[in-house]
A = this chain, B = another copy of it.
Amino acid sequence: MGTSLKPANTDFPATPRPDPIPDPNHADCRGVASVLSRVGDKWSVFVIMMLSDGPKRFNELKRMINGISQRMLTLTLRGLERDGLVTRTIFPTIPPRVDYELTDLGRGLQEPVKALGEWAIKHQQQIAAARTRFDARNET
């Protein structure tokens, strides 16, 4: 086969592949890694945050998260749905309407993620400064 996209490869953004296995002694590492991957997926985090205050429709989310492509939003939502973090409700109206809403699990995830976000906001200046310093030192 050439290079066409295999259907099986339509896996979701943050789904780990055959697992790099960080430390065999801690089986938990893989579970942790898969969750961290999802958080590290920029779009997943934004979607979760956007759903904080209730269910949203597909295009509503797309408009709120400026810069996300339709494809990425679809994939992100499928990944979140797969992990049981959001629910997908179809209203068979015309035109069709689909609502996405956080599950209890998803709402629980919000808390540690928010803590991380607050840390990020609080220290982004320090980090930016460190980067500038590092880059300056490494460019002369």
By a beta-carbon cutoff of 8 Å, the part of chain A in contact with chain B is: 10-18, 20-25, 28-29, 31-37, 39-42, 45-46, 49-53, 64-68, 81-84, 105, 108-109, 111-121, 123-124, 126-131, 133-135
**When the two chains form their complex, are residues B35 and A42 in contact, meaning their CB atoms are under 8 A apart?**
no
Please pick, from B21, B64, B123, the residue contacting A66 in the complex, using a CB distance under 8 A: B21
Please pick, from B13, B114, B123, the residue contacting A108 in the complex, using a CB distance under 8 A: B123
Query: Chain A interface mostly helix, strand, loop or mixed?
Result: helix
Copies in the complex: 2
Contacts of A37 in B (CB 8 A): 40, 42
**When the two chains form their complex, are residues A39 and B40 in contact, meaning their CB atoms are under 8 A apart?**
yes
**When the two chains form their complex, are residues A36 and B123 in contact, meaning their CB atoms are under 8 A apart?**
no
Docked Cα-Cα span, A41 to B134, in Å, equals 20
**When the two chains form their complex, are residues B83 and A23 in contact, meaning their CB atoms are under 8 A apart?**
no
Of chain B, the residue at the smallest CB distance from A78 is: B134
Please pick, from B20, B67, B118, B135, the residue contacting A22 in the complex, using a CB distance under 8 A: B67
**When the two chains form their complex, are residues B22 and A127 in contact, meaning their CB atoms are under 8 A apart?**
no
Contacts of A51 in B (CB 8 A): 14
Please pick, from B23, B36, B52, B121, the residue contacting A10 in the complex, using a CB distance under 8 A: B121
**When the two chains form their complex, are residues A35 and B112 in contact, meaning their CB atoms are under 8 A apart?**
no
